[in-house]
Structure formats: structure tokens, C-alpha cells
Amino acid sequence: MALSVDDAENAAEMKDALGLEFPVLYDTDTAVATAYGVYDLLGDGVSAPATFIIRTDGTIESALIGTSISERPTPDSILDVLASLAGMHRAVMTDPADDASDAAEVVLPMARAPEVGQLVPDFDLPTASGESVSLGENLDEGNVVLVFFRAWW
């Protein structure tokens, strides 16, 4: 699922423009982005780019919080972490700009952000499609990839 501090209209426009098939949530009061330690991290009044992979027990398996707009994990590194949760092998999300030899640890830049192994806050937010989505309900179905994206496209 993806989350921003956009309003419903902007979240729906982004979902439609990119043809996204997963929930796009909006957090207009910034409560969830703040709880995850990514709101206004870069001093610009929106969420920092961040990706959390959350285990079914609600703890963080892997996290990457960007310190610039372009810092994101590669799709392959996300899939590697999900594969590791299925018992295939161990992996950590990496930014494509990182050297592979530096990929052993993910260091979160903010102490207030949930850390790997820590239980994350649950939430219930509206989606761009007009539904409501709970993190807890999705964790009942499997591991969750939660992506905070920059708002106001």
C-alpha cells in the first residue's frame, strides 16, 4: 500500500495516472506519517520517501527512509526481502545508488522512526477509491509493503 499526506482528490489522481492496483491511502492530518517518523523529515511539509516491509506480527522486517526525493529501494530488493520472509533467503532493501557491499544494514536517519524488529503503529485510513484500509486487517492476510510517497504531485 502507498500513503501520502495528499487529500482524496490528489491521491485518486495519482492512483489513476500511474494505474496502481494497490491501495493508495491519504493521511491529510499527517498522524500516520508522523507516527512513522517520516513527516517533514526533509523540512518540506510532506512525507519523506520511505518503504517499510512489515511482518504479519506487526514488526518491521526491513526499512529504508530516504534523505532525498530519489532515494528509494529497488523493486528487486523489495522482492528479495519478501522472498526472505517466505524462507527463501535473507535480504535487505537497498537504494539503487548504494554499493552492493554496503547493503548489509539499513540505518534509519531519525531516532523517532520505528526500527527493524519494532512493532509499528496500526492505522485505519481512507483510500483514493473511497474505502477504508486498516494495516492490521492487511497483516492478517500477509506481510505488507508500506510506501510513503511525496505528496502534492
- DSSP three-state, residue 11: helix
Find out whether 109 and 65 touch, Cβ atoms under 8 Å. Answer: yes
Please tell me the predicted confidence (pLDDT) of residue 103.
38
* In a domain? residue 54: yes
Asked if the structure places residue 30 within a domain, the reply is yes
Whole-angstrom Cα distance, residue 9 to residue 15? 10
**Local confidence band at 92 (pLDDT 50, 70, 90 cut-offs):** low
Retrieve residue 153's grid coordinates.
Answer: 504531485
Residue 43 covered by a domain: yes
> DSSP letters of 59-101?
BEEEEEE-SSTT----HHHHHHHHHHHTTS-------TTS-GG
Give pLDDT, residue 150. Answer: 74
The pLDDT assigned to 110 comes to 46
Which backbone phi and psi does 109 adopt, to 5 degrees? -75, -15
Cα separation, 66 vs 89, in Å, equals 25
pTM > 0.75: yes or no: yes
- Domain of residue 54 covers 2-69+108-148
Tell me the pLDDT band of 11, cut-offs 50, 70 and 90.
confident
Closest CA to 122 of 40, 65, 62, 54: 54
In a domain, 61, yes or no: yes
Give the pLDDT confidence score for residue 44 in this predicted structure.
87
Query: pLDDT for 37-76, tens place per residue?
Result: 999 988 888 899 999 999 999 999 999 998 887 888 888 8
Q: Do 106 and 113 contact (CB within 8 A), yes or no?
A: no
State pLDDT tens for residues 104-128: 334 444 446 788 899 999 999 999 8
Query: Is the residue at 84 inside a domain?
Result: no
- Count Cβ atoms below 10 Å from residue 111 Cβ, excluding itself: 7
The pLDDT value recorded for residue 113 is: 75
Question: How many structural domains compose the chain?
Answer: 1
